[in-house]
Amino acid sequence: MFKVIFKPSNIEIKVQKDENLLSVAREAHIAIDAPCNGNMSCGKCKVRILKGKVDTKKSVHISKEEEKKGYVLACATKVIEDIIVEIPDTSSLYKNDMKIEDFSGLKGKMAFDRAKKSLVNNGLKLNLYVKKAYIELDIPTLDDNIADTDRLTRQIRQMLGFQKVEISLNLISKLPLLLRESNFRITIAYMIKSNDTISLMNIEKGNTTDKLYTVAVDIGTTSVATCLINLLTGDVIAEASSANAQIQYGADVINRIIYATKKDGLKALNKAIIDDTLNPLLNKMYKSANISKDDVYFISVAGNTTMIHLLLKIYPDYLRQEPYIPVFSNMPIMQASSLNLCINELGGVYTFPSVASYVGGDITAGVLSAGIWNSQENILFIDLGTNGEIVFGNKEFMMTCACSAGPAFEGGGISCGMRASKGAIERVKIDKYEPKINIIDSNKPVGICGSGIIDLIAEMMFAGIIDRRGKIVQDIETNRVRFDEHGIGEYVLAFKDEYGIENDICINEIDIDNFIRAKGAIYSGIYTLIESVGFDLSCIDKVYIAGGIGNSLNIENSIAIGMLPDLAKDKFKYIGNSSLSGSCLGVISKSARDKVEEIANQMTYVELSVYPSYMDEFVSACFLPHTNIDRFPNIKLLLS
Amino acid sequence: MFKVIFKPSNIEIKVQKDENLLSVAREAHIAIDAPCNGNMSCGKCKVRILKGKVDTKKSVHISKEEEKKGYVLACATKVIEDIIVEIPDTSSLYKNDMKIEDFSGLKGKMAFDRAKKSLVNNGLKLNLYVKKAYIELDIPTLDDNIADTDRLTRQIRQMLGFQKVEISLNLISKLPLLLRESNFRITIAYMIKSNDTISLMNIEKGNTTDKLYTVAVDIGTTSVATCLINLLTGDVIAEASSANAQIQYGADVINRIIYATKKDGLKALNKAIIDDTLNPLLNKMYKSANISKDDVYFISVAGNTTMIHLLLKIYPDYLRQEPYIPVFSNMPIMQASSLNLCINELGGVYTFPSVASYVGGDITAGVLSAGIWNSQENILFIDLGTNGEIVFGNKEFMMTCACSAGPAFEGGGISCGMRASKGAIERVKIDKYEPKINIIDSNKPVGICGSGIIDLIAEMMFAGIIDRRGKIVQDIETNRVRFDEHGIGEYVLAFKDEYGIENDICINEIDIDNFIRAKGAIYSGIYTLIESVGFDLSCIDKVYIAGGIGNSLNIENSIAIGMLPDLAKDKFKYIGNSSLSGSCLGVISKSARDKVEEIANQMTYVELSVYPSYMDEFVSACFLPHTNIDRFPNIKLLLS
Q: Name the pairing type of β-strands A379-384 and A398-403.
A: unpaired
Collect all residues with Cβ–Cβ distance below 8 Å to A292 and sequence separation of at least 6: A211, A286
Residue B315 with chain A: CB contacts under 8 Å: 173, 176-177
Distance CA A40, CA A61 (A): 9
Whether residue B148 and residue A338 make contact (CB cut-off 8 A), yes or no, is no
Q: Has residue A282 got a pLDDT over 70?
A: yes
Nearest by CB to residue B140, choosing from A323, A330, A610, is: A323
pTM: 0.82
Q: What is the mean pLDDT of residues B504-530?
A: 95
Residue A150 with chain B: CB contacts under 8 Å: 328-330
Query: Closest by alpha carbon to A386, among A245, A274, A259, A219?
Result: A219
A313 touches chain B (CB under 8 A): yes
Write down the mean pLDDT value for chain A.
Answer: 91
Which of A173, A180, A196 is best to mutate for the B interface (most B CBs within 10 A)? Answer: A173
Which of A137, A141, A145 is best to mutate for the B interface (most B CBs within 10 A)? Answer: A145
- Angle B562-B566-B570 (CA atoms, 0-180°, nearest 5)? 130
B148 touches chain A (CB under 8 A): yes
DSSP state of B333: P
Whether residue B318 and residue A176 make contact (CB cut-off 8 A), yes or no, is yes
Please tell me which residue of chain B has the smallest CA distance to A339. B169
pLDDT in tens, B193-209: 999 999 999 999 999 99
Which of B146, B152, B173, B334 is best to mutate for the A interface (most A CBs within 10 A)? Answer: B173
DSSP state of A408: G
Q: Name the pairing type of β-strands B348-351 and B296-303.
A: parallel
Nearest by CB to residue B147, choosing from A142, A147, A329, is: A329
Residue A606 with chain B: CB contacts under 8 Å: none
Whether residue B330 and residue A150 make contact (CB cut-off 8 A), yes or no, is yes
Distance CA A386, CA A406 (A): 6
Nearest by CB to residue B610, choosing from A142, A339, A357, is: A142
Query: Closest by alpha carbon to B387, among B469, B303, B326?
Result: B303
Distance CA A92, CA B516 (A): 83
Query: Closest by alpha carbon to A373, among A347, A386, A354, A392?
Result: A392
Distance CA A459, CA A54 (A): 42
User: What is the pLDDT at residue A592?
Assistant: 97
Please tell me which residue of chain A has the smallest CA distance to B329. A147
Residue B324 with chain A: CB contacts under 8 Å: 142, 145
Distance from CA of B147 to the nearest CA of A (A): 5
B612 touches chain A (CB under 8 A): no
C-alpha distances in Å from residue B328, one per residue of A290, B269, B351, B356? 35, 18, 11, 9
**3-class DSSP string for B596-622:** HHHHHHHCEECCHHHCCCHHHHHHHHC
Phi-psi region of B208 (alpha: psi -120 to 50; beta: other; left: phi over 0): alpha
B146 touches chain A (CB under 8 A): yes
- Angle B9-B12-B14 (CA atoms, 0-180°, nearest 5)? 155
Q: Lowest mean pLDDT of A381-395, B274-288, B407-421, name the range.
A: B407-421
Which residue(s) pair with B49 in the sheet? B85
Residue A177 with chain B: CB contacts under 8 Å: 315
pLDDT in tens, B313-342: 999 999 999 999 999 999 999 999 999 999
ipTM of the complex: 0.84
Please tell me which residue of chain B has the smallest CA distance to A150. B328
pLDDT in tens, A419-445: 777 888 999 999 999 999 999 888 999
User: What is the pLDDT at residue A222?
Assistant: 84
Between positions 315 and 354 of A, the ones with CB within 8 A of B are 315, 317-318, 322-332, 334, 338-339, 354
Q: Has residue B128 got a pLDDT over 50?
A: yes
User: Model confidence at B63, in pLDDT bands (50, 70, 90)?
Assistant: confident
Provide φ and ψ at A633, rounded to 5°.
Answer: -60, -35
Residue B169 with chain A: CB contacts under 8 Å: 312, 331, 334, 338-339
Please tell me which residue of chain B has the smallest CA distance to A266. B173
Q: Has residue B407 got a pLDDT over 90?
A: no
Please tell me which residue of chain A has the smallest CA distance to B165. A332
Q: How far apart are the first and last CA of chain A?
A: 66
Whether residue B323 and residue A142 make contact (CB cut-off 8 A), yes or no, is yes
User: Model confidence at B102, in pLDDT bands (50, 70, 90)?
Assistant: very low
Between chain A and chain B, the number of residue pairs with CB atoms below 8 A apart is 120
Whether residue A145 and residue B177 make contact (CB cut-off 8 A), yes or no, is no
pLDDT in tens, A108-125: 888 899 999 999 999 999
Whether residue B327 and residue A145 make contact (CB cut-off 8 A), yes or no, is no
Provide φ and ψ at B41, rounded to 5°.
Answer: -90, -30
Alpha helices in B201-276 (DSSP H): 253-260, 265-273
Residues A367, A379: contact at Cβ < 8 Å? no
B149 touches chain A (CB under 8 A): yes
The H or E element spanning position B72 is: strand B71-73
Collapse the DSSP code of B523 into the 3-class scheme (helix H, G, I; strand E, B; otherwise coil) and give the result: helix
> Which amino acid appears at position A283 of this protein?
N
Whether residue B148 and residue A334 make contact (CB cut-off 8 A), yes or no, is no
Nearest by CB to residue A176, choosing from B142, B146, B315, is: B315
> Which amino acid appears at position B140 of this protein?
P
- Angle B41-B413-B310 (CA atoms, 0-180°, nearest 5)? 85
B181 touches chain A (CB under 8 A): no
Residue A315 with chain B: CB contacts under 8 Å: 173, 176-177
Whether residue A150 and residue B328 make contact (CB cut-off 8 A), yes or no, is yes
User: What is the pLDDT at residue B98?
Assistant: 37
A145 touches chain B (CB under 8 A): yes
C-alpha distances in Å from residue B47, one per residue of B88, B89, B408? 6, 10, 22
Residue A357 with chain B: CB contacts under 8 Å: 145
Q: What is the mean pLDDT of residues A30-59?
A: 82
Between positions 370 and 429 of B, the ones with CB within 8 A of A are none
Distance CA A166, CA A154 (A): 13
Distance from CA of A449 to the nearest CA of B (A): 35
Q: Is the peptide bond before A625 cis (omega within 30 degrees of 0)?
A: yes
Strands annotated E in A9-150 = 11-15, 46-51, 54-56, 71-73, 77-79, 83-86, 131-136
Cβ neighbour number for residue A527 with a 10 Å cutoff: 22
Which residue(s) pair with A14 in the sheet? A3
pLDDT in tens, A587-640: 999 999 999 999 999 999 999 988 999 999 999 999 999 999 999 999 999 988
B1 touches chain A (CB under 8 A): no
As a whole-number percent, the residues of chain A with pLDDT over 70 amount to 96
Distance from CA of B354 to the nearest CA of A (A): 10
Collapse the DSSP code of A332 into the 3-class scheme (helix H, G, I; strand E, B; otherwise coil) and give the result: coil
Whether residue A327 and residue B147 make contact (CB cut-off 8 A), yes or no, is yes
Which residue(s) pair with B92 in the sheet? B32
User: Model confidence at B551, in pLDDT bands (50, 70, 90)?
Assistant: low
Distance from CA of B328 to the nearest CA of A (A): 5
Residue B361 with chain A: CB contacts under 8 Å: none
User: What is the pLDDT at residue B168?
Assistant: 93
Output Rg (C-alpha) for chain A, integer angstroms.
27
Nearest by CB to residue B314, choosing from A172, A315, A326, is: A172
Q: Has residue B216 got a pLDDT over 90?
A: yes
User: Model confidence at A100, in pLDDT bands (50, 70, 90)?
Assistant: very low
> Rounded to an integer, what is the distance from CA A278 to the centroid of its chain?
13
Which of A139, A325, A606 is best to mutate for the B interface (most B CBs within 10 A)? Answer: A325
User: Model confidence at A95, in pLDDT bands (50, 70, 90)?
Assistant: very low
Distance from CA of A609 to the nearest CA of B (A): 10
